[in-house]
């Protein structure tokens, strides 16, 4: 089935919010990961409420409101969020309080805002949205799980779904990812992924107008060899009824390492001239960074032009009707999403 | 007619026991297992918890996993319960290849990360990899899948106390839509200092045995455990020659959109979730309601009013089994789904323990083990963030 992207919005470490203008260099600020460029939230959230909110919640609410405004939908039928780590800052805050007071008298504020479903819950609360409400937290497939569910809900009669992926990065998260070999530092020349953070939300609908961008299919798999992944791609394209010549653009999760075997293997499956671009130079790496990849690819299709960034390979001939997104997380979680217009 | 979703197996670990039969015995003999903590290393020794009385070493043996000090208790509980479900369903190695897992958890690897975060703050040398790489909720799902060789679609849901119920709903929808033939679905949560101190800070823990639906209720007891169902499509069940025990007939999910932690006093969310579930099920007669019934002032009032409204004052026999197990958070919807299936199998209604005085809003809960004709059960799960879910199961 076709799932139309009516509108989307993203906060990333670059200038992408409220509208995308990403010619600037990443703002690496004082922390060794790509920190999101956050807007003035006062026009999206009552400052009395936002004062207590962690960054992940504020980012998610701001992009949700922007996506809803752009789509003209004031009340979605459901809200589905994917987040790999959820509300990390409040989790760490409450843990620190438990430890520093030796389980003493504690304020519950950080605790009640630390559950993973706080993001979807707070959006529902602010919108007064009593519809379907789900939160997925599945490592490098958190957003994909959420998208899978959004497709199910639209297929089962929901008119529209607010779908999002979001993550906030903290120092402890960075240290953990660096030690397990999932992150480098923006200053290093080493070919390690650079950690980022952000929120990308979409208003999806089962109904669309001619020329609108739609997701025609997604395929996710884990723990496979390069050969198996290649077979999965062939199966996916066959299932979607497209051949390698009909893909106009590859949007891939390259992150600071252009020799990545996974991405190279996929590139080589397609004719050399097919243009290849990355999205993680804008979002950085995180569990739900593919949500930004989807926003990026959708904008390219909507605007019918490529962003001001060098192509990794291929040549752009002005044709933009079908885009394949491929992302992997740490070589374990793999995702294909096919977008068309 | 919508495609049917069959339940062909279930498995459970709770403070009542390590498997279905131990749980059933305790339920039938009205033996709750809520005690002071023996394994949770908390200073709050006075708290009452539904703790699984096995150490991580011994849980590792039972799970068939090599013991490791940084292997989360959440995963151990999950493996044991999910394995029992697969064995009951007779899902072998070949079938596991296409069988998926939807697991709900709210704490994930918190039991490990909270211990080692303390070392980190105290300046002790800490391996980030061993300490925190299993912190996220998806880690437990990945490890349970790997240990049980489940190769199909996997998904993790974290919607606080409604996580496992939502996992069952999502798996059911994946089967109904034809995307999957066979899914293991449920949830797992271990006790942690994080949740114990969090609920304590909210002042909603009873230091005595909790008293769901009682006028003098003081709060909940936390518990831990895991429970999973095996759900299958009719065609797949037939093809592999499996046997179904019951059917997942209804599911409803909504958001209360009232407050981050509290339920609306009149139970709008609870009402809407039940209404949707009953609608999906084709408005069957409900013979028993396994209520969310945490024993907090707020939940039990809100749920009572929602029950009164949905059943037009004629509330079916209902009980909360949380006085037996404590509130097992993300696992609760799975554990209570198994108890609902046992009510169908045994044709009994399990009692609401520790009840003495009515709140005066609806009829009293069932107070003793009661034989009854039970054809359809409604199971409620509500959580923080306004998440409300209701499921219905019918016998076949």
Minimum distance, in Å, between the CA of residue A271 and any CA atom of chain B:
31
Q: For residue A183, what pLDDT is reported?
A: 75
For the ranges A61-65, A171-175, A210-214, B44-48, the lowest mean pLDDT is seen at A171-175
Q: For residue A309, what pLDDT is reported?
A: 80
- Structure confidence by residue, pLDDT tens digits, B282-318: 999 999 999 999 999 999 999 999 999 999 989 999 9
Q: For residue A65, what pLDDT is reported?
A: 98
**Do B181 and B175 touch, CB atoms closer than 8 A?**
yes
Q: For residue A171, what pLDDT is reported?
A: 85
Better-scored residue on pLDDT, A307 or A22: A307
If residue A66 lies in a helix (H) or strand (E), which one and from where to where?
Answer: helix A55-71
Q: For residue A148, what pLDDT is reported?
A: 98
Instruction: Please say whether the dihedral angle defined by the alpha carbons of residues A5, A9, A11 and A15, taken in this order, is positive or negative.
Output: positive
Q: For residue B358, what pLDDT is reported?
A: 98
- Give the side-chain half-sphere CA count within 13 A for B122: 12
If residue B342 lies in a helix (H) or strand (E), which one and from where to where?
Answer: helix B332-346
For the question of residue B161 being annotated catalytic, the response is: yes
User: Of B161, B210, B254, B388, which is the active-site residue?
Assistant: B161
Q: For residue A174, what pLDDT is reported?
A: 85
- Structure confidence by residue, pLDDT tens digits, B124-183: 888 888 888 899 999 999 999 999 999 999 999 999 999 999 999 999 999 999 999 999
Average pLDDT value over all residues in chain B: 97
Query: Judging by DSSP bridges, how do beta strands B100-104 and B154-157 pair with one another?
Result: parallel
- In this prediction, residue A68 has a pLDDT band, given cuts at 50, 70 and 90, of very high
If residue A286 lies in a helix (H) or strand (E), which one and from where to where?
Answer: none
Find which of B117, B120, B385, B386 to mutate to test the A interface (most A CBs within 10 Å of its CB): B385
Minimum distance, in Å, between the CA of residue A149 and any CA atom of chain B:
8
If residue B75 lies in a helix (H) or strand (E), which one and from where to where?
Answer: helix B73-89
- In this prediction, residue A172 has a pLDDT band, given cuts at 50, 70 and 90, of confident
**Do A167 and A28 touch, CB atoms closer than 8 A?**
no
* Nearest residue in A to B165, CA atom: A134
Residues of chain A found within 8 Å of residue B268, distances taken between Cβ atoms: 130
- Structure confidence by residue, pLDDT tens digits, A81-129: 999 999 999 999 999 999 999 999 999 999 999 999 999 999 999 999 9
| A207 token code pair | 């109904």
**Single pTM value for the model:** 0.97
The yes-or-no verdict on residue A24 having pLDDT over 60 is no
Nearest partner of B223 among B195, B204, B197, judged by Cα? B195
Q: For residue B321, what pLDDT is reported?
A: 98
Instruction: Please say whether the dihedral angle defined by the alpha carbons of residues B227, B233, B234 and B240, taken in this order, is positive or negative.
Output: negative
Minimum distance, in Å, between the CA of residue B140 and any CA atom of chain A:
9
Segment A240-253 shows an average pLDDT of 96
This complex has an ipTM of 0.97
- In this prediction, residue A310 has a pLDDT band, given cuts at 50, 70 and 90, of confident
Nearest partner of B194 among A121, A166, A49, A86, judged by Cα? A86
Output DSSP code: residue B386. G
**Do A133 and A158 touch, CB atoms closer than 8 A?**
no
Minimum distance, in Å, between the CA of residue B351 and any CA atom of chain A:
31
Q: For residue A29, what pLDDT is reported?
A: 45
* Nearest residue in A to B201, CA atom: A108
If residue B249 lies in a helix (H) or strand (E), which one and from where to where?
Answer: strand B246-255
Residues of chain B found within 8 Å of residue A103, distances taken between Cβ atoms: 42-44, 193, 197
> For chain A, what percent of residues have pLDDT higher than 90?
80
Q: For residue A30, what pLDDT is reported?
A: 47
Residues of chain B found within 8 Å of residue A95, distances taken between Cβ atoms: 113-114, 117, 194
Q: For residue A32, what pLDDT is reported?
A: 62
Q: CB-CB: which of B44, B117, B129 is closest to A180?
A: B129
Alpha-helix runs per DSSP H in A101-240: 109-112, 118-127, 142-155, 171-179, 226-240
The yes-or-no verdict on residue A256 having pLDDT over 80 is no
Residues of chain B found within 8 Å of residue A156, distances taken between Cβ atoms: 173, 177
Q: How far apart are CA B168 and CA A168, in angstroms?
A: 29
- In this prediction, residue A167 has a pLDDT band, given cuts at 50, 70 and 90, of very high
Q: For residue A27, what pLDDT is reported?
A: 52
CA separation, residue A229 to residues A233, A254, A335, B42 (Å)? 6, 16, 10, 46
* Nearest residue in A to B170, CA atom: A149
- Give the side-chain half-sphere CA count within 13 A for B123: 0
Report the C-alpha dihedral over residues B299, B305, B307, B309, rounded to 10 degrees. -150
Average pLDDT value over all residues in chain A: 92
- Structure confidence by residue, pLDDT tens digits, A33-43: 788 999 999 99
Segment A144-156 shows an average pLDDT of 97
- Structure confidence by residue, pLDDT tens digits, B232-271: 999 999 999 999 999 999 999 999 999 988 999 999 999 9
For the ranges A169-178, A315-324, B72-81, the lowest mean pLDDT is seen at A169-178
Nearest partner of A286 among A163, A149, A137, A80, judged by Cα? A137
Q: How far apart are CA B226 and CA B85, in angstroms?
A: 11
């Amino acid at each position: 089935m076709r799932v139309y992207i009516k509108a989307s919005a993203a906060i990333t470490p670059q200038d992408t919010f409220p509208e995308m203008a990403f010619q600037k260099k990443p703002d690496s600020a004082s922390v060794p990961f790509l920190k999101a460029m956050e807007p003035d939230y006062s026009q999206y959230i009552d400052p009395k409420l936002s004062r207590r909110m962690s960054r992940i919640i504020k980012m998610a609410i701001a992009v949700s409101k922007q996506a809803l405004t752009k789509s003209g939908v004031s009340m979605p039928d459901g809200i589905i969020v994917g987040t790999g780590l959820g509300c990390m800052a409040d989790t760490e805050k409450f843990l620190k309080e438990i430890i520093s007071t030796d389980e003493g008298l504690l304020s519950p504020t950080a605790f009640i805002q630390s559950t993973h479903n706080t993001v979807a819950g707070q959006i529902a609360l602010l919108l007064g949205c009593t519809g379907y409400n789900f939160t997925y937290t599945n490592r490098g497939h958190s957003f994909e799980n959420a998208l899978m569910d959004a497709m199910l809900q639209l297929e089962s009669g929901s008119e529209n779904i607010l779908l999002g992926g979001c993550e906030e990065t903290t120092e402890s998260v960075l240290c953990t990812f660096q030690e397990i070999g999932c992150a480098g530092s923006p200053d290093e020349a080493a070919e390690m992924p650079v950690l980022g953070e952000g929120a990308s939300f979409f208003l999806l609908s089962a109904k669309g107008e001619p020329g609108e961008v739609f997701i025609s299919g997604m395929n996710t798999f884990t723990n496979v060899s390069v050969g198996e992944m290649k077979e999965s791609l062939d199966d996916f394209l066959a299932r979607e009824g497209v051949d390698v010549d009909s893909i106009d653009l590859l949007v891939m999760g390259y992150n600071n390492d252009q020799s990545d075997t996974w991405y190279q293997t996929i590139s080589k499956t397609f004719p050399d001239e097919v243009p290849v671009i990355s999205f993680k130079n804008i979002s950085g790496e995180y569990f739900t960074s593919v949500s930004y990849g989807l926003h990026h690819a959708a904008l390219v299709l909507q605007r019918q032009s490529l962003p001001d960034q060098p192509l990794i390979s291929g040549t752009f001939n002005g044709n933009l009707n079908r885009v394949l997104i491929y992302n992997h997380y740490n070589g374990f979680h793999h995702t294909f999403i096919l977008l068309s217009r | 007619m919508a495609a049917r979703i069959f339940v062909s197996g279930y498995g459970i670990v709770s403070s009542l026991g390590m498997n279905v039969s131990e749980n059933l015995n305790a339920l039938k003999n009205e033996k709750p297992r809520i005690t002071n903590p023996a394994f949770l290393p908390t200073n709050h020794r006075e708290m009452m918890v539904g703790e699984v009385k096995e150490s991580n070493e011994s849980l590792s043996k039972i799970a068939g996993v090599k013991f490791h000090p940084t292997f989360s208790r959440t995963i151990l509980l999950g493996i044991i319960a999910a394995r029992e479900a697969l064995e009951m369903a007779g899902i072998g190695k070949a079938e596991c290849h296409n069988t998926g897992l939807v697991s709900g958890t709210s704490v994930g690897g918190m039991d490990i990360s909270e211990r080692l975060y303390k070392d980190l703050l105290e300046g002790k040398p800490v391996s980030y990899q061993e300490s925190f790489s299993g912190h996220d909720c998806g880690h437990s799902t990945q490890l349970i899948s790997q240990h049980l060789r489940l190769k199909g679609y996997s998904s993790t849901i974290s919607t606080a106390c409604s996580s496992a119920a939502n996992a069952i709903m999502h798996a059911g929808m994946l089967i109904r839509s034809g995307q999957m033939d066979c899914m293991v679905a449920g949830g797992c949560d271990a006790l942690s200092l994080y949740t114990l101190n969090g609920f304590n800070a909210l002042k909603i823990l009873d230091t005595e045995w909790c008293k769901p639906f009682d006028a003098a209720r003081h709060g909940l007891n936390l518990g831990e455990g895991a429970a999973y169902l095996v759900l299958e499509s009719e065609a797949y069940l037939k093809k592999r020659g499996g046997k179904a025990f019951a059917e997942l007939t209804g599911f409803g999910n909504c958001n209360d959109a009232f407050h981050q932690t509290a339920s609306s006093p009149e139970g709008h969310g609870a009402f809407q979730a039940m209404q949707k579930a009953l609608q999906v099920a084709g408005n069957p007669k409900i013979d028993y309601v396994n209520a969310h019934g945490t024993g907090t002032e707020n939940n039990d009032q809100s749920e009572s009013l929602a029950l009164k409204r949905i059943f037009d004052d004629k509330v079916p026999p209902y009980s909360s089994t949380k006085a037996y197990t404590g509130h097992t958070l993300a696992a609760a919807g799975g554990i209570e789904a198994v108890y609902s299936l046992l009510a169908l199998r045994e044709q009994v209604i399990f009692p609401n323990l520790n009840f003495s005085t009515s709140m005066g809003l609806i009829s009293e809960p069932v107070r003793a083990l009661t034989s009854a004709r039970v054809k359809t059960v409604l199971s409620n799960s509500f959580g923080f963030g306004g998440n409300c879910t209701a499921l219905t199961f019918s016998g076949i």
